[in-house]
Amino acid sequence: MTDTLRPAETAAAPPDVPAPPESRTLKRSIGVVGGTLLTLSCVTPASTLFVVVPDLFGSLGTATTLTIAIGSLLCVAVAFCYSELGTLIPSAGGEYAMVSTMAGRLAGWLVFVLSLLVVMIVPPVIAMGTADYLEPVVRLEPSLAGAGVMLLATLAGLLDLRANAWITGVFLVLEVIAAAVVAVLGFAHAERGPGSLVSMEVAGADGGADPVTAVLVVSGLAIALFVTQGFSTAVYLSEELEDPRRNVARTVLATLGISAVIILVPVAAITLGASDLAELTGGDIGAMVTAWSDSAVGTFVSLCVALAIVNAGIVMVIQNSRVLFASARDKAWPGPVNTVFAKLGRFGSPWVATLAVGVPGAAMCFVDLDTLYGVTGVSVTGMYLLVAVAALLARRGPHRRAQAWRMPVWPAVPVLLIAVLAYILTQQETSHLLWTGGITAVATLYWALYLRPRRGTRWLVTVPEDVREPSRP
């Protein structure tokens, strides 16, 4: 087991180390319902459906539904790992706290870098999609619209988490309505039979049908994993969930199940309802909705998607700020930086960390981020792989007797997951692997040159005192 900072140890910490963690513990204010609303909002079913899925239609055609279904099944195994680890190590640090404790400090640091890479890139990329869906009402430049969404999300992220649960809950209802409208219209205008959901065809350059190979499906699984990836937000909220030993697992599993249905059903409906392969491969879902109904319905769905993107921005900023806050509390940075990022504001939120992730996110909307979708897919896959390794090690020593939710069919689940995810990584584009590998290499150098030589005062993962329970005899 790795070094883990305990409250008693922090009293003798050096002067440049922030105050003890018990004075910087996030407030427990939400239950399963609030946590599920916030976590579902981070999955952002409608924005995923309208922003990410069209790219999958473009490369996978009719195989998109099958690919997302396979990805959702893999995510069940991932969710089992998150649920067990999240109840053992309920920390705002999420993946890095879990992996550091189970698999070592270097592994935890690399997971932190991968998770930070994902959560910093995705919000501005999705936010820039707002302009497309506001177009029926007002024409905006994508970068300006995205920056506006990120700044609005940052302001909302400064509020109390309970208030944000209600805000995102209202937006989430609109997301589900939009997805339901797409599903009903698609099924009502079906052009092909259910067998097309397991066929593997995409529109070719000559207007005919080209086959989708198994290799393409495996390659697409990295993005398919990202489609429902937001369920992991539950572990970032574990310090603010009441009774985390029970509610973390409930929130993770409930969110995955609900989000998979909200995304998969409309994807199947779109596959069946597209007039031909060219329309499906084009991925213009808004145009399909208008063709199935009228411009008023198309406008309504577009506005719901725009609100869904705002919703996604709010929750992602909340999630990202908790990761940065936890890393400062766990002394990942030089002393003055740790002190600043660990500050809590009037509403109990980490306000400096919130500004630190939201404002740069607004600036990133003016950068070309198209190629980073592939980097994000590689990062998510690598992060899940390390979480699976940690889950494989989660029943050693004192953790074997600790009170926690335990996954069924252990250790087969994490072993199988490690093998599948490793294979998926081998099928990704070389450039995406090189970008992610380069960032990981730089992070490893920071670890070797700064964190490792200061192992007594830096990168000490904290577990809040009020959630640790005595081991069973």
Q: For residue range 165-174, what is the model confidence (pLDDT) as tens digits? A: 566 667 778 8
Give the Cα separation of 452 and 143 in Å (integer): 40
Confidence at 198, pLDDT banded by 50, 70, 90 = confident
- For residue 19, the one-letter residue type is A
Cis peptide before 21 (omega within 30 of 0): no
- Residue 192: the pLDDT is 84
**Greatest alpha-carbon span in the chain:** 71
- Residue 470: the pLDDT is 37
Give the Cα separation of 265 and 54 in Å (integer): 15
Over range 42-61, report the average pLDDT: 79
Question: pTM for this structure?
Answer: 0.74
Confidence at 26, pLDDT banded by 50, 70, 90 = low
Q: How many CB atoms lie within 10 A of CB 202?
A: 21
Counting residues of the chain whose pLDDT is more than 90, the rounded percentage is 12
Highest mean pLDDT among 199-203, 316-320, 377-381, 458-462: 377-381
- Residue 19: the pLDDT is 44
- Residue 20: the pLDDT is 42
Structure tokens of 418? 């490690």
Q: Which of 17-26, 120-129, 423-432, 444-453 has the lowest mean pLDDT?
A: 17-26
In the chain, domain spans: 30-460
Confidence at 4, pLDDT banded by 50, 70, 90 = very low
- Residue 390: the pLDDT is 92
For the cut 90, the answer to whether the pLDDT of residue 328 exceeds it is no
Q: State the angle between helix axes of 95-103 and 105-127 in degrees (0 to 180), rounded to the nearest 10.
A: 160
Structure tokens of 303? 């506005």
- Residue 247: the pLDDT is 79
Structure tokens of 269? 């409906």
- Give the DSSP H/E element, type plus range, for residue 73: helix 64-88
Q: State the angle between helix axes of 372-392 and 105-127 in degrees (0 to 180), rounded to the nearest 10.
A: 150
- Measured CA angle at 343 (ends 338, 346), to 5 deg: 175
Distances (CA, A) of 101 to 93, 105, 193, 220, 421: 11, 7, 50, 31, 22
Contact 272, 187 (CB under 8 A): yes
Over range 190-197, report the average pLDDT: 84
Confidence at 427, pLDDT banded by 50, 70, 90 = confident
For the cut 60, the answer to whether the pLDDT of residue 471 exceeds it is no
For the cut 90, the answer to whether the pLDDT of residue 214 exceeds it is no
- Residue 385: the pLDDT is 93
For the cut 60, the answer to whether the pLDDT of residue 10 exceeds it is no
Over range 153-162, report the average pLDDT: 71
Domain 30-460 grouped into CATH 3.90.190.10: no
Counting residues of the chain whose pLDDT is more than 70, the rounded percentage is 84
Give the Cα separation of 75 and 73 in Å (integer): 5
Q: For residue range 276-304, what is the model confidence (pLDDT) as tens digits? A: 888 888 888 888 888 898 888 888 888 88
Q: How many CB atoms lie within 10 A of CB 205?
A: 6
Residue-averaged pLDDT of the chain: 79
Q: State the angle between helix axes of 214-227 and 412-426 in degrees (0 to 180), rounded to the nearest 10.
A: 120
For the cut 60, the answer to whether the pLDDT of residue 254 exceeds it is yes
Q: Which residue has the higher pLDDT, 426 or 399?
A: 426
